[in-house]
Amino acid sequence: MAPSKRKSTAKADRIAVAKVAKVVLNSRRTTRTEEIGNDSDPHQAISDDDEDLLMAATTGKYDSHEDDGDSDENDDKKYEYAQPGHKSEGSHYYQAPTSEEIQGLKEASDLFKSNIFKLEIEELLAEVRIDYSKLKPLEAALHQLKALFDGLPDEPDASLAHIKSQMSKKYKISIPFPDPQPSSDIQYTFGFKKPTAIHLVGSFPLKTLTRSRDRFNVDVAVEMPTRAYYLAVLAKGIQSKHDLNVNLEFSTFNGDCRRPILILNPSGDKSDTDFTKSKCIIRILPSIPTTLFPASRLSPSRNNVRQKDHNTHTDINMLPATPLYNASILQDSTFTSNLVYLYKHVKACPAFVDACLLGKVWLRQRGMASYEQNGSTMNGFVWSMIMAYLLDGGGTNGGKKLSSGYSCYQLMKGTIDYIAQHDFDQSPIVMGNAISDEKFRENFEVVIVDPSGKVNLAAGMPRAAVAQLKYEARLAQKYFDEYGEDRFDTLFLTTVNELPLYYDNIARLPAPSKTYPRYTAASKLGHIDFFEHFARDVSSLLAMGLTNRVHLIGVHHEPLQNWAIYNSPTPNDSKNPILIIGIILNPEHATRLVDQGPPAEDATASAAFRQLWGDKAELRRFKDGSILESVVWDAKDTEERGLIVGRAVQHLLQLHYGIKPIDGVTYWAGQLNPFINLSQPLSAPTKHSNDGTRNLGFGRIMSAFDQFSKQLRTLDDLPIPVANISPASPALRYSSVFLPEPFNLSGSSLFSNAARYIEPIDVVITLEGSTKWPEDVAAVQQIKTAFLLRIAEQLRMLGGTKVIVVDEADAASDVLLRGYMDVFYSPGFVFRCRIQQDRELILLHRIIDDKNEKPWRKDMADYALRQYNLHFANGPMHTFHLQNVCNRFPSLSSTIRLMKRWFGAHLLSSHICDELVELLCAHVFLDPQPWREPASSLAGFARVLHLLSNWNWKNEALIVDLEDSMSLATKDRIRDNLKNSRARDQSMRHAAMFVATARDLESKHWSWLAPSKVIVARIQILSRAALPLLTNMIAEGNESDIKRLYVTPLQDYDFIIHLDPSKCTRYSENIAPETQHTRKVQKYKNLVVGSSELSEQPLVGFDPVERYLGELKATFSDTALFFHNRYGGNFIAVAWNPATLTARQWKVDTGFSSVPVDVDDSGFMVSHIVEPSLRVS
């Protein structure tokens, strides 16, 4: 049986919005999808995977799978203690612990954070540790490789032209000479002799390899006098070895294009040497003997690279140093010596290997455990060397920072503590002293000298990489030190380097189109690749310019890819590469208007400051009398102040690199701001008395509320004085979607119905206590109305204030909340005031607890009690706490506003209340792990989407500690409440989203009745589609697609009810309103007449669409779900409940109207839907 429209018992004036409307059947399930302007374009909307949510819910997909308690009871019996004198079958569980077990428990408490943490670490290590016994094919391949290299024949000396021709034509191998290529007229020749030594180096012989998504490296150091030609000969020899079938590639070591290496990939031929299942690659690393060059020859201060046009008579000591080139040669000589150094600590410290594994997992999860960024990040090898160094020293007064008796947890935590606190600039890490520290510090940004004292292990690492390492170490230090909280997942299981989640601002820019002054002749000696220098230099430049506005600057780009042995490498600067710059803002300083530089007397520093900022620098006198070099940024409002960092970045890029915004620069910071600003001016004169509202943000409404509160407290001619005035509105807790703007009350008749809506601002007035209140709820309500009338009278007497008292008496019950007072307050706000009286609460409880009371009256009292708590208890308290949280985190306000707009755009605003959205957003700021709290609305928006995408809402409570004082016992109680709730209510009819606070341990305040599990599943699907869309837009620099985040797919709905925009009082809030509906055009002033169907007065809180939607839900809630965008939506989407459409036996009182149809053979009525082609009126 199919539902048809049944007559509503509501008053006719409550559905006036549907006077001109049409219902359109969604024919996704038949032929086509109805379009609603641009917003419904299926190519523009985010994808929800076409999942029919209602059907999925009907089939139980979103039901809870929690046990009903029986299995737990059985489990309890299993572990029940044996009675005295009776030896149970499982009595071995209760035997005294062995000495080994006692020792294990002691170690867990002494050496680890907790017993659970110890078990988690052990489980993680078991997952990531390589099983070396299963690497037999790899070992066979390595043995074959060793035998092959030992048996290679010598090659006679030959000219460059000869060897290049022979390798290319005969063996299809391009010799991997780095740029600049050797000149064709060079006089020396090239020969080959078999390698003098071959060593397994790196993590493989130490057994510190970790399992991951990527293939791990097995490094083979092959001693050879020259690099490129020898690698080509080795590749030729491997190709000719038929029983070692591998795929060969060339690559670079640590991203250094001057250091080519040979890569052996498994072929997958399933032979004895096929190491495909090992999930690894073999890297052939050219090496040299440690005694080949004297240390002084390759000192960081020496020059070993000559420019083409250099003067041969120039003193060598006057030439610019080539520290990076020198270090690259020295690093080729230390593979085995560093291996021996680490092996010594592996033997001396039993937990060293496991600590290395933990460190590598942590680095990888934080996006640092690779040299893909041209050697610009930390990797597992350097981590291991630092930890080994701390086992030898690094402590106070020259002592040891770590002990060889530490557990792997203690070793890792100690290393992280050291990194977090150590000043790498002032105190470089030095494990040996062959060369003076000063030479290293003068020529490298980061200094970590190996045990030989000759090699800087961090030669290719910029200062920005250490800044990121220290930043992450401080976060990890915080997680380790949190008492009672298990942050294991945060530290080791969560990948955190997704751009919009990690950074607050993101810049995407191309490489400079031409060379720039900072790429000097000396820079070219160290960085042959033009783009490589730019990638390193830009982070240093921005760090100088942004100073303490930022916590971290990260630079990302595609690494130089491996290339086939028959090809030549393609430099980055020949591929139009893209650089991604991520910035984590410091919210305390990011929005300041003035950057202060050095005093005018410091000529050297002033010159450097002016060189940095160019014409933006100016000399200014400040209030304290100081005269400083400065940079001043103009910003009209809070939004513009949030974009200052972006403006500074773009200025520096253009000044120093010639990169202009029109060159393809995309700076991601304020792209979402237009969605929380009204789209266009509505009329002239304007709707709002806007003389600087956006400049003041929420300051104007807060100031008006303070003045209004003071005015109420001065009223003295009241029977009971006013004790308190409490805010209870989103506008007064910085979370209304649009900034509260004063309405132009005097010109309301000039606007259309779609532009005269005013959102009232809820205020609660609390009177002082009195014993004279009556003992009847109805009488209390009437007295409260009388109080409002008296207050209104006195406010009018003060002059200039329009006050309206509304009595919402309900004929059905006299106990329901009724009455409010609207105060039209200058400069154009409307405060909706209600009176709170605690006596009312007592009387309602008395009705509910009275056993002799009629059931219907108890139900009414229960509903009235919920309304009382909403308006007078929960609402004001929530507002108070959210005010504090928004003041603590500046970007929380805009994050909430964006998320409310997002929920509205996806037609969910009627299913999730404002307070619940605010709690979801507050959670990502109060509990931001595994990141810092967001410092921009873009990052906050992405984090909330991430939360909604990944929250296991069926089994996990979301705990929001608004007061920052929740104890561990309280959190455990909340989790127990969730378990109990799911056990009692397996269909999750209540609290599908279990969001708890310190004052709401059972999630009853804001999510008890809504959203339902179907809606929560819908939210999760949409957020899982939106977050990758945002990530891809940022990575590709596609700003034009940003609107897709706020366009919802409509294919899941059965039909759409289109509403006349001119009758939708909030239509002006639409993302893209049509101007003919928002502007009221008059030809002549004397022709203006009051023709509006809704009068010419401001429409305070009157949203007929919401009322119509409420009628539909009340009438058809068991038949269909209704979806609408509260913020300017002009249609209602409807989805039938699949259970309603299934065949059923006919009976009287089906619960809805029906039409006669054929009966099938089983006697069931066949489901039937009449296509709605009517106009609702």
Summarize pLDDT for 803-860 with one digit per residue, the tens.
999 987 765 677 888 889 999 998 889 999 999 988 899 999 999 998 888 898 899 9
- Check for a shared fold between 126-292 and 301-326+349-373+388-497: no
Give the C-alpha separation, 330 to 337, whole Å: 12
- Of 326-330, 334-338, 480-484, least confident by mean pLDDT is 480-484
Phi-psi region of 85 (alpha: psi -120 to 50; beta: other; left: phi over 0): left
Q: Which residue has better confidence, 221 or 1160?
A: 221
Residues 6+ apart with CB under 8 A from 568: 174, 176
Strands 578-585 and 505-510: antiparallel
**185 pLDDT band (50/70/90 cuts)?**
confident
What average pLDDT is seen over the chain? 85
Whether pLDDT at 6 is above 60: no
In this predicted structure, what is the pLDDT of residue 1167?
A: 53
In this predicted structure, what is the pLDDT of residue 523?
A: 84
Starting at the edge strand found earlier in the chain, the sheet holding 627-632 runs 594-599, 627-632, 617-621
Whether pLDDT at 977 is above 90: yes
Question: Mean of the pLDDT values across residues 212-220?
Answer: 91
**Amino acid present at 459:** A
Question: Mean of the pLDDT values across residues 775-804?
Answer: 90
Q: Which helix (H) or strand (E) holds 261?
A: strand 256-266
Whether pLDDT at 96 is above 90: no
Whether pLDDT at 539 is above 90: yes
Give the C-alpha separation, 162 to 183, whole Å: 13
In this predicted structure, what is the pLDDT of residue 487?
A: 87
Q: Name the β-bridge partners of 249.
A: 263, 564
Q: What burial letters (b/e) apply to 544-579, b meaning 16+ CB within 10 Å?
A: ebbeebbbbbbbbbebbebbebeeebebbbeeebbb
Whether pLDDT at 363 is above 70: yes
Give the C-alpha separation, 253 to 283, whole Å: 9
In this predicted structure, what is the pLDDT of residue 819?
A: 87
Question: What's the token pair of residue 211?
Answer: 């399992």
CATH number for the domain formed by residue range(s) 499-593+633-669? 3.30.70.3020
Question: Mean of the pLDDT values across residues 952-972?
Answer: 94
CB 739 within 8 A of CB 693: yes
**Amino acid present at 36:** I
Give the C-alpha separation, 113 to 413, whole Å: 10
What distance lies between CA 506 and its chain's CA centroid?
A: 13
* Three-state secondary-structure class, residue 984: helix
Question: Mean of the pLDDT values across residues 278-291?
Answer: 94
Angle at 343 between CA 198 and CA 429, to 5 degrees: 105
Domain ranges (residues) in the chain: 12-32+1050-1141, 126-292, 301-326+349-373+388-497, 499-593+633-669, 682-850
**692 pLDDT band (50/70/90 cuts)?**
low
Q: Residues 900-917: pLDDT tens digits?
A: 999 999 999 999 999 999
In this predicted structure, what is the pLDDT of residue 49?
A: 58
Give the CA count within 13 Å in the CB-facing half-sphere of 396.
1
Whether pLDDT at 771 is above 90: no
In this predicted structure, what is the pLDDT of residue 73?
A: 40
Give the C-alpha separation, 688 to 700, whole Å: 13
Q: What are phi and psi of 327, to 5 degrees?
A: -65, -35
Number of separate helices (H) and strands (E) present in the chain: 36, 30
**312 pLDDT band (50/70/90 cuts)?**
low
CATH number for the domain formed by residue range(s) 682-850? 3.30.460.10
Whether pLDDT at 569 is above 60: yes
Total count of residues recorded for the chain? 1177
Sign of CA dihedral 280, 286, 290, 293: negative
3-state secondary structure 770-820: CCCCCCCHHHHHHHHHHHHHHHHHHHHHHCCCEEEEECCCECCECCCCCCE
What distance lies between CA 867 and its chain's CA centroid?
A: 36
List, as own/partner pairs, every contact residues 966-971 make where C-beta atoms lie below 8 angstroms and the sequence separation is at least 24, other chains included.
966/998, 968/484, 968/485, 970/998, 970/1001
Whether pLDDT at 59 is above 60: no
Q: Nearest Cα to 791, choosing from 804, 772, 777?
A: 804
Residues 6+ apart with CB under 8 A from 154: 191, 192, 193, 194
Give the C-alpha separation, 281 to 261, whole Å: 12
**Amino acid present at 81:** Y
In this predicted structure, what is the pLDDT of residue 813?
A: 75
Question: Mean of the pLDDT values across residues 486-509?
Answer: 93
Whether pLDDT at 371 is above 90: no
Strands 216-223 and 280-287: parallel
Give the C-alpha separation, 736 to 690, whole Å: 17
Question: Mean of the pLDDT values across residues 159-184?
Answer: 90
In this predicted structure, what is the pLDDT of residue 16?
A: 38
Give the C-alpha separation, 491 to 468, whole Å: 15
Other Cβ atoms within 10 Å of 664 Cβ, number: 13
Strands 995-996 and 958-959: parallel
Give the C-alpha separation, 420 to 470, whole Å: 5
Question: Mean of the pLDDT values across residues 929-934?
Answer: 95
Question: Mean of the pLDDT values across residues 582-589?
Answer: 96
Give the C-alpha separation, 896 to 37, whole Å: 27
In this predicted structure, what is the pLDDT of residue 1145?
A: 72
Q: Which residue has better confidence, 985 or 1177?
A: 985
In this predicted structure, what is the pLDDT of residue 1003?
A: 96
**Amino acid present at 95:** Q
Give the C-alpha separation, 867 to 864, whole Å: 5
CB 14 within 8 A of CB 1111: yes
DSSP 955-968: T--EE--TTS---H
Longest distance between any two alpha carbons in the chain, whole Å: 114
Q: Residues 612-671: pLDDT tens digits?
A: 999 999 999 999 889 999 999 999 888 999 999 999 999 999 999 999 988 889 999 999
CATH number for the domain formed by residue range(s) 126-292? 3.30.460
What is 301-326+349-373+388-497's CATH number, 3.40.50.300, 1.10.1410.10, 3.50.50.60, 1.10.1060.10? 1.10.1410.10
Whether pLDDT at 18 is above 50: no
Q: Residues 257-276: pLDDT tens digits?
A: 889 999 999 999 899 999 99
Give the C-alpha separation, 669 to 461, whole Å: 28
Give the CA count within 13 Å in the CB-facing half-sphere of 871.
26
**1155 pLDDT band (50/70/90 cuts)?**
low
Whether pLDDT at 563 is above 50: yes
Sign of CA dihedral 358, 360, 362, 365: negative
CB 1065 within 8 A of CB 757: yes
Q: What's the N-to-C CA distance of the chain in angstroms?
A: 25
Give the C-alpha separation, 774 to 222, whole Å: 96
Percent of the chain with pLDDT over 70: 82
**84 pLDDT band (50/70/90 cuts)?**
very low
Phi-psi region of 833 (alpha: psi -120 to 50; beta: other; left: phi over 0): beta
CB 586 within 8 A of CB 544: no
Instruction: Write the DSSP symbol of residue 27.
Output: G
In this predicted structure, what is the pLDDT of residue 30?
A: 37
Give the C-alpha separation, 252 to 374, whole Å: 9
Q: Nearest Cα to 629, choosing from 604, 655, 653?
A: 604
In this predicted structure, what is the pLDDT of residue 14?
A: 37
**893 pLDDT band (50/70/90 cuts)?**
very high
Other Cβ atoms within 10 Å of 887 Cβ, number: 11
